[in-house]
A and B are shown apart, each in its own frame.
Chain A
């Protein structure tokens, strides 16, 4: 496949890149660095993409691996505070309370738990999550059950 094909696939699946960055980056300067880094690592790994899985699944994997192994800057403010006040983050307005509460609750989870619930809510089943993360299927199931309990409790409290 050519660079043009690659760019088309990235464009079609750009939501994955934005999503992973929004869920894991704590500092506005890291956003630009990581958006570039994910595209670069995806481009370099692309020749080894066999098509065994969907491109979106493969890109999710590369994005998570890149973001979680990157040397990220610490948060300027706590996740529950408003990053838009810093001026560097462009966030869309008019969010519903429901989605805002879920966002804050997910951001408060550990990075591994955040990955598991994100993949689950995006429709990946436990064996797929186990394959992407490297955890055992059993461990994914146990963790997922616990994370859902935590999220439901936090959202009720909200």
Chain B
């Protein structure tokens, strides 16, 4: 069978026949479902939350007098500033990579998209490791601070135990939850990208 002749037939009879869905007349209005774009949008949302929570923690820092609450809310302000800047830098880097991701060579595109997803997941895991547990602790202390005799209450063994549990359990739990969530959502997809990259690296 002549491959070229069969291909021409295949194009006419099947491949180039219109799909049941029409082409869009308004590309500006389309929304992306690409994982890398979703990840980037997720980072924008994350940045918005970081700024909002930073403002809240700044207000809380001035609202409570006990030094322990001031220490943790101050720590949270520092952590949110750090992650806000980190988020912004990551976003800029991803935007630069995304600009070139679809119009370059396929191998380059696969490597870029893999890297974008990988970087975003790593960022979110770090957020889970630092922000969630510290937020839980700060929230807990503010809850205690709402009652009278904060200094006395916080020194009670029961309270210290709750605080310790929050630190010891919440930190690995938040981190593990984030890892698990990304594992079930993206692991298989990242493996497919890796397999494609490997396939392209094999000579012959």
Contact = CB atoms under 8 A, between A and B. Distances in A.
Interface of A: 3, 6-7, 10-11, 14-15, 17-19, 21-23, 31-33, 35-37, 39-45, 48-49, 58, 61-62, 64-66, 68-71, 89-92, 94-96, 98-99, 101-103, 110-112, 115, 121-122, 131-136, 138-139, 142-143, 146, 148, 151-152, 155-156
Given A133-B107, A134-B106, A71 B9 contact: no
B17 A142 contact: no
Interface of B is mostly: helix
B14 A131 contact: no
Given A31-B19, A99-B6, A121-B3, A39 B27 contact: yes
A41 B28 contact: no
Nearest to A22: B15
Contacts of B33: 33, 36-37, 70
A98 B10 CA distance: 8
B105 A132 contact: yes
B98 to A, nearest CB: 9
A143 B201 CA distance: 12
B196 interface: yes
A31 B23 CA distance: 12
Interface of B: 1, 3-7, 9-11, 13-21, 23-25, 27-28, 30-36, 99, 101-110, 113, 189, 193, 196, 199-200, 203-204
Contacts of A115: 106
Interface of A is mostly: helix
Nearest to A69: B113
Nearest to A40: B30
A28 to B, nearest CB: 9
Given A40-B27, A110-B199, A95 B16 contact: no
A91 B14 contact: yes
B23 A39 contact: yes
4 A-B pairs with the lowest CB-CB distances in the bound complex, closest first: A134-B107, A134-B105, A90-B20, A43-B27
Nearest to A151: B3
B16 A18 contact: yes
Nearest to A7: B25
A99 B10 contact: yes
B103 A65 contact: yes
Given A41-B102, A65-B104, A135-B200, 7 more contacts: A41-B32, A42-B27, A44-B102, A69-B109, A98-B9, A102-B7, A132-B106
Given A99-B10, A102-B3, A92 B17 contact: yes
B110 A35 contact: no
A120 to B, nearest CB: 9
B8 to A, nearest CB: 9
